[in-house]
Structure formats: structure tokens, C-alpha cells
Amino acid sequence: MIKLKELLAKFKLNKKAMFSLCAILFLIVIALFTTSLNSTNKTSEQTKDETANLSYQTFVEERLVNIISSIKGLDNVKVYVSVGSSPEIVYATDKNIDSTKTGETTVFSKNSSQTTPVIISEKYPEILGVLIVAKGLTQKINLDLTNSLSLVLNVPISCIQILEGK
């Protein structure tokens, strides 16, 4: 406790040292604040990608459940779809050829008060594998379902697994 008082007394006497300490502390606080902002932005971008990926995955799973459930003899259908990277969106661009530089700029469209980029196409994530669990499977249904899924989803037969459920 005594050393702390002595240290504070020295800083009171030396105004230059006190100013330097305050400046260093201020810079540390700013550095910590900007670092936390950058990590928050990256996390939010990752969350958007994961959400888009998950919503596509859920969409495909729900469609498959609806279709497979309509097959005669199958009940309690559950589907899991494994997908690759997040969806890719291709925006319209305008090529600028100048005497000094060349480049591309994104084309935007205006609708009343909103300006949005023009989307040319959206590439959905690749489906890596499919797992189906259903009650009432027969060997013929299993074979037909495997071939159909391979054809419709463009997935190799080796990446499709169909199991008998409870």
C-alpha cells in the first residue's frame, strides 16, 4: 500500500510522465475497441453465411421429407443433408476501360428509395451426402430411392445412405 502511494506521489510531481501514461492508456483502449469491432463484423459475416447455408440445407431436407413420405409403404421419414460451402451470388458488373486503368464495377438498380445490386445468378451449395431413415423400407424401395436421389441431387450413390427406422 505504501509503495502505491509513493508511486502516485512521483506521478503527481512529474506531469510529463502522467500525460504519457494517460496517452498510452488511451491508445490501448482505442486498440481494444477497434479489435472488438472487427471481430464482431467478421462474426456477423460468418453468421450470415452459416444461416444461408443452414436455410438451404433445411429447405432441401424438408422437400425430401415431403416427397419421400409420399412413397407407398414409408412412414416416419427423417432426412439429413450435408452441404458444402455457403451459397455464391454472382452480381452484374460493368467493365470500365479507361486510358489509365481497367476495372469492374457492380451494377445497381433503383426501386423507389432502395438501391440494390443486380443479381445474375445464385449458386447453391454442393450437396455432399444424404442420410435417410424411414420405416417400411424394402430392398426395391431402397434401390429406387438411392437411384432417384443420385439423379435428382447429382450426388454419387456412395454418398447416399438409407436406413430402416423404428
Q: In the chain, where are the structural domains located?
A: 2-87+124-164, 88-123
Query: Given pLDDT bands bounded at 50, 70 and 90, which one contains residue 79?
Result: very high
The fold adopted by the segment(s) 2-87+124-164 is: GMP Synthetase; Chain A, domain 3 (3.30.300)
Mean pLDDT over 113-139 rounds to 88
- Determine the 3-state secondary structure of 142 from DSSP: helix
- Determine the 3-state secondary structure of 111 from DSSP: strand
The structure's pTM equals 0.55
What is the pLDDT, as a whole number, of residue 87?
75
Among 81, 55, 56, which Cα is nearest to 68's?
Answer: 81
What is the pLDDT, as a whole number, of residue 48?
54
Among 94, 152, 81, 93, which Cα is nearest to 120's?
Answer: 93
Mean pLDDT over 129-144 rounds to 93
Run of H or E including 19:
helix 15-69
Query: Given pLDDT bands bounded at 50, 70 and 90, which one contains residue 119?
Result: confident
Query: Given pLDDT bands bounded at 50, 70 and 90, which one contains residue 8?
Result: low
Type of residue found at 1: M
Report the percent of the chain where pLDDT is more than 70: 67
Tell me which range, 22-31, 93-102, 118-127, 130-139, is most confidently predicted by mean pLDDT. Answer: 130-139
Q: Using CA atoms, how far apart are residues 88 and 84, in angstroms rounded to an integer? A: 11
